[in-house]
Amino acid sequence: MSKTNAHLLPCLLTLAGALTGSAEDAEPVDSSQLTRLSIEELAAVKVVTVSRRPEGNLETAGSIHVVTAEDIRRTGSTTIPDALRTAPGVQASRIDADEWALAIRGFASRLSRSVLVMMDGRSLWTPLFAGVFWDAQDTFLEDVEQIEVSRGPGGAVFGANALNGVINVTTRNARDTHGGLVTLGGGSADLGAGARWGGQLGTGLHYRVFGKYAVRDGTTPTTAAGYDDQYDLGLGGFRLDWERGVRDSFTVLGDLYDGSSPQPTTVATFTPPYSKLVQGDAAFRGRSVVGRWKRSLANRGELSAQAYYDRTTRHESYYGEKRDTFDLDLQHHFAWGSRQDLVWGANYRRSNGAFEGGPSVRLEPAKRADEIAGLFANDELRLADNRLRVTLGSKLEWNDYSGWNVQPSGRLAWVLSRHTFWGSATRAVRTSSRVERDIVLYSSLSATQPLFARINGTPDFKPESVVALEAGYMLRLPRVILTASVFRNAYDDLAANQPGAPELEPGVGAVVPVRITNGAGGSADGAELKVVYAPFKSWRLQGSYSHLVLGLDGPAGAGFKANSPRDQFWLTSYLTPLEKLDLDLVFRAIGPIPGHGMPGFANLDARLAFRPRPSVELSAAGANLFRVHTPEFGGGFAVDRSGRLQATIRF
């Protein structure tokens, strides 16, 4: 954190006191976010990531974890990856101020290449690197309703890129966010402010607008080449929800963001000294708008249509890219009698990218349009008085790289009054990225000689694929929720690097060619356990344990194998000893990450929140309290011990 931001803390305290006084007569229009969820309410939370229709999260034939609005607030999360940390089976290792290695069941990297991430129905996946740029993904967290984490392939309903799981961020309906909200927080690792206002424009028409700005650091260089890693991001947006009669609803939402962070990079040059350090900031901007229509039909049916447009611009120190994406999704849900539910639909996406490189890095061709289209169907049959649920589904999807792909799924659930037993068999694929097919990248191998490695993509690169077998159990008691699952994933055609014989390249020098090919395969085996226990109405505990064994083949497979810890343990405690007071703890014990030389570690976060009035919450939080600096994933940075103060006012 910069000294300038540290000096702003007295201002923060002064402003928090002023806001507390100004809200003396206010009542919290938006008080639902402060609700303490009971075991019954947690069990009743609806999810859509397994079947694309709402169903109880404890009745699904899949591994589901829901991060609620209460979880986000009480863990002190300030980013989406931070909020995902406590989900079983999820690895969220912080790399530096703005980058995360986030993965579900292995394959951790900066880009979350095996996970489909969506926000309010919009995919955050980029065809450039086949992943997610987490530094550019943010929203007004106070308006997030929940984040679903579906562990296991989701290709049968969501299509390509849901290889290991799906993360679905859902924000609240505008009718639930009337009034104003202002939040201001900061400390030794970050400084941020945000505001939102919502209301009603007419019969059934509700709106909200919001804006936020954050500066983050909280990391310390671990090498002599380290640098100040301060990152900033500004974000604004709106949402309109219109209920027209009892059958039709319309939603329009949009946002825009602008951010930057330092990104010094060493690039190859074809003249002495054959490599140079390029200083500069990574600058990223985005604009998006989403439109959605839903119509309720008879017999629990629903017809929906969604379209969105997304424009992103990214310039790092050695490349730049502009991308425009249009997506259309149609879905029909209807019931056959009392025992059968069918969801089917179609989608089309076109993403136009224009790449700007240099002599040592380029894409050939520099401009390309990527297209994906598909049809899916997911049918659930209920037998034995609705206790036995059999679900069969598949998605038939075409992309302009590899043609048609089939992603089938079969799920079985036995639901009793307090117990659910389930099993599934699924297949999913990940589409090729521009880098894997079109990259030409030179890397210097000598500081004194013209010797380079040249990485080339493969035009016929095939989609990576996985076949997954899972089984699970869920138990619901008056004070306890227990979920457990075991899985085995078998992978094929994973990306690998294939070196060739050295050659001379005119105008360059000696070159070792390295081609990106399909090569590595292997397996991932694991078990996950989560227990939620509420000994009292004012106290809730949640513990989770994840065990992962990767058996991936080849050099590339070995790299992915070494990027994830074998064991992770999390324990959260939400205690409200007084109506106006919260005391929250988050403990974690993470195993070693051998690929980056990261030892295992244990750490603790703590948060104390006080509500002098129903409309005001003041909180103080400390993160990484056990250690001054904690390397989590390598990359030349360690995460600092930090403190944070925050004031939130509703009016």
For 580-606, b/e burial (b = at least 16 CB within 10 A) is: eebbbbbbbebbebebbebeebebebb
Burial class (CB within 10 angstroms; exposed 0-12, middle 13-18, buried 19+) of 578 = exposed
Is the Cβ–Cβ distance between 382 and 415 less than 8 Å? Answer: no
pLDDT value, residue 40: 87
pLDDT value, residue 5: 46
Residue 308 identity = Y
Closest CA to 116 of 106, 126, 320: 126
- Higher pLDDT: 278 or 153? It is 153
Closest CA to 100 of 122, 88, 119, 84: 84
Closest CA to 611 of 603, 623, 599, 619: 619
The strand pairing partners of 411, in sequence order, are 391, 424
Our measurement of the distance from residue 561's CA atom to the centroid of its chain's CA atoms, rounded to an integer in Å, reads 21
pLDDT value, residue 262: 86
For 574-579, the CB contacts below 8 A with 24+ separation are 574/36, 574/70, 574/74, 574/539, 574/540, 574/541, 575/538, 575/539, 576/36, 576/538, 576/539, 577/538
The strand pairing partners of 553, in sequence order, are none
**What is the pLDDT averaged over residues 297-326?**
94
pLDDT value, residue 1: 42
**What is the pLDDT averaged over residues 451-470?**
94
Our measurement of the distance from residue 587's CA atom to the centroid of its chain's CA atoms, rounded to an integer in Å, reads 21
Which run of H or E residues covers position 555? helix 554-561
Whether residue 277 is predicted with pLDDT greater than 80 in this model: the reply is: yes
| CA 423 – CA 486 distance, rounded (Å) | 10
Is the Cβ–Cβ distance between 100 and 630 less than 8 Å? Answer: no
Q: pLDDT (tens digit, 9 = 90+) per residue, 218-274?
A: 999 988 777 888 899 999 999 999 999 899 999 999 999 999 998 888 899 999 999
Domains in the chain: boundaries: 3-167+176-650
The strand pairing partners of 250, in sequence order, are 242, 293
Whether residue 72 is predicted with pLDDT greater than 90 in this model: the reply is: yes
pLDDT value, residue 184: 97
User: Please, which pLDDT band fits residue 556 given cuts at 50, 70 and 90?
Assistant: low
Residue for token pair 């979880």: 71
**What is the pLDDT averaged over residues 388-398?**
96
pLDDT value, residue 34: 58
Whether residue 395 is predicted with pLDDT greater than 60 in this model: the reply is: yes
Closest CA to 539 of 571, 573, 588, 570: 573
Whether residue 106 is predicted with pLDDT greater than 70 in this model: the reply is: yes
Q: pLDDT (tens digit, 9 = 90+) per residue, 345-359?
A: 999 999 999 999 989
Q: pLDDT (tens digit, 9 = 90+) per residue, 9-27?
A: 444 444 444 444 444 443 4
pLDDT value, residue 24: 41
CA distances to 82, 233, 545, 616, 631 from 530, rounded to whole Å, are 18, 34, 7, 33, 26
Q: What is the pTM of this model?
A: 0.93
Q: Which two tokens stand for residue 79?
A: 């980013």
Residue 40: DSSP 8-state: H
CA distances to 106, 109, 441 from 632, rounded to whole Å, are 15, 12, 28
pLDDT value, residue 300: 78
Q: pLDDT (tens digit, 9 = 90+) per residue, 415-431?
A: 998 999 999 999 999 98
Whether residue 394 is predicted with pLDDT greater than 70 in this model: the reply is: yes
Q: What is the mean pLDDT of the chain?
A: 91
Residue 122 identity = R
Whether residue 280 is predicted with pLDDT greater than 90 in this model: the reply is: no
Pick the CATH number of 3-167+176-650 from 3.40.50.80, 3.30.1330.10, 2.40.170.20, 2.60.40.2240: 2.40.170.20
Phi, psi torsion values for 104, nearest 5 degrees: -115, 120
| CA 384 – CA 502 distance, rounded (Å) | 67
User: Please, which pLDDT band fits residue 110 given cuts at 50, 70 and 90?
Assistant: confident
Residue 227: DSSP 8-state: -
Our measurement of the distance from residue 176's CA atom to the centroid of its chain's CA atoms, rounded to an integer in Å, reads 24
Phi, psi torsion values for 197, nearest 5 degrees: -135, 135
For 587-594, the CB contacts below 8 A with 24+ separation are 588/85, 588/86, 590/93, 590/565, 590/632, 591/565, 591/566, 591/567, 592/565, 592/566, 593/93, 593/562, 593/563, 593/564, 593/565, 593/633, 593/634, 594/562
